[in-house]
Structure 1
Amino acid sequence: MEGPLALREWAVAVEALASGRQVIVLRKGGIAEETKEFKVESPRFYLFPSYEHQKPHLMKEEARATVLLTQEEALANPDTVRIAYYAEVVHDLEVTDEETLQRLDALHVWTHDYAAERLKWKRTKPLHVLVLRVYAVDNPLLLPLDESFGGCKSWLQIPPISPSAMHPVLTDEQFDARVDEVLRCVNG
């Protein structure tokens, strides 16, 4: 029996989503993607925290300490990964220009330079701005790390897991306000 899908995302971004600091992730696709570009494989998935490429200097000042905290957590638990959040894609918006990206700048934890670098990479492909409704899993899962979780790919098949109750990290009103803010930025 196949398990659910998980989106690999920097642990610092998962924490920003979990706290309600942001409701978006910026995706271009990993270099190991089968199609060489990002696509939403499922509208619902777990968030799989990744520690490999996140670096404090790529984050806004407010998130730099969280990078270090997540790296310490990974070092303290080298054989497991903690899956504590689930997400639903509300919008998959495509951004192709620097002006739109600049308008989104206050809505995420990455530096503008890093976000612009993501936009410019594979210039002919759009940057996907996924607007996510995030849920905290009441009983976080500890999965043993597996070789299949490695590599620069966005989507991971994780082992079958027992369902757990979840609750949204933002109220409906808070989330709707954040989505409206994102849409205003993208639509100019």
Structure 2
Amino acid sequence: MSSISHALKEWAIAINALEQGKTIMLLRKGGIKESNGKFVVPRDRILLYPTYEHQQPALLKPEYQSSVTPVASGWHPQQVTISSWAEITDVLPVSEENTVKALLPFHVWNEEFITTRLKWKPRQPIYILLLRTYKLPVPQVIDYRTEYGGCTSWVDLGLGIDCDRTSPVLLDDTYKHLTTEIRQIIGSNLTFA
């Protein structure tokens, strides 16, 4: 495995849920600065980079709302703690609101988030990412750099973080069961971008 230097930026609350095994799913449409205006997954093994700026308690399920402290627009920590990496095992584009709502038990967001995301860039699907998450034995603290900022999904940290000696958050059978269940829900409603 060695080291990884590329990271996916995501709400800190969602990364925390991935690291605790409460979810294996992220919902993405991409940042404003995505290449060609579309969300693309350039790598299947990535570090998980926690963000705070756009977290909104009102868009989370009740059990996650109190764990978020809203921050001012443009705020970022002086240092970023990277404590996990993930293998993206599935990228499933979904456009049907009913299908996305059927996936509510599998992620941290609420119905308002789903409705809002589907309306933003309505011709583009929501991408369901299924992630096999691994905790680092020792979290790595890196200094924030301006190139990490902005509304983009992906950042190159400019340094590799050792991802050897890690174990998956969920057992193989548990992860396989969850991915099978999610794929069955998406089923015939799977769309292709």
TM-score by length of 1: 0.90
**CA-to-partner distance for each residue in 1:117-166, whole Å, 9 max, x for gaps?**
11221111111001110000111110101101110000000122341421
Structure 1 CA distance, aligned partners of 2:166 and 2:67? 24
CA distance in 1 between counterparts of 2:101 and 2:161 reads 41
Which amino acid is the alignment partner of residue 107 of structure 1? F
- Superposed CA RMSD: 1.8
Alignment deviations for residues 14-38 of structure 1 (CA, whole Å, 9 cap, x no partner): 0111111110100101012132110
**1:5 is matched with which residue?**
6
Partner of 2:183: 183
What letter corresponds to residue 22 of structure 2 in structure 1? R
Distance 1:166 1:133 in 2: 12
Counterpart of 1:133?
Answer: 132
Q: What amino acid does structure 1 have at the position aligned with 2:34? A: E
* Aligned AA (1:42): R
How far apart, in 1, do the equivalents of 2:34 and 2:186 lie? 26
Aligned-pair distance for 1:53? Answer: 0.3
* Amino acid aligned to 1:151: G
CA distance in 2, matches of 1:95, 1:159: 33
Percent identity (aligned): 35
The corresponding residue for 2:168 is 168
1:66 partner SS = coil
For structure 1, which runs of at least 5 residues remain unmatched after alignment? none
Helix, strand or coil for the counterpart of 2:10?
A: strand
Provide the secondary structure at the position in 1 that maps to 2:40: coil
State whether structure 2 residue 65 is matched by structure 1 residue 58: no
Contact 1:101 1:116 in 2 (8 A): no
Contact 2:140 2:161 in 1 (8 A): no
Counterpart position of 1:24: 25
Instruction: Count residues in correspondence.
Output: 181
Q: Any unmatched runs of 5+ in structure 2? A: 189-193
Question: What is the CA distance between 1:4 and its match in structure 2?
Answer: 1.6
Question: Which has the larger helix fraction?
Answer: 1
The CA deviation at 1:182 is 1.0
Q: State the AA in 2 paired with 1:45.
A: I
Q: Equivalents in 2 of 1:120, 1:55: separation in Å? A: 17
The Cα shift of 1:184 comes to: 1.8
170-179 vs 144-153, which moves further: 170-179
CA distance in 1, matches of 2:134, 2:77: 25
> Structure 2 length as normaliser, TM-score?
0.88
Shift of residue 168, structure 1, vs aligned partner: 0.5
Call closer, same or farther: CA 1:162–1:89 in 2, change over 3 Å. closer
What residue identity is the alignment partner of 1:5? H
Q: Deviations over 1:73-122 (max 9, x none)?
A: xx9x9310000010111111010111101110111111111122112211
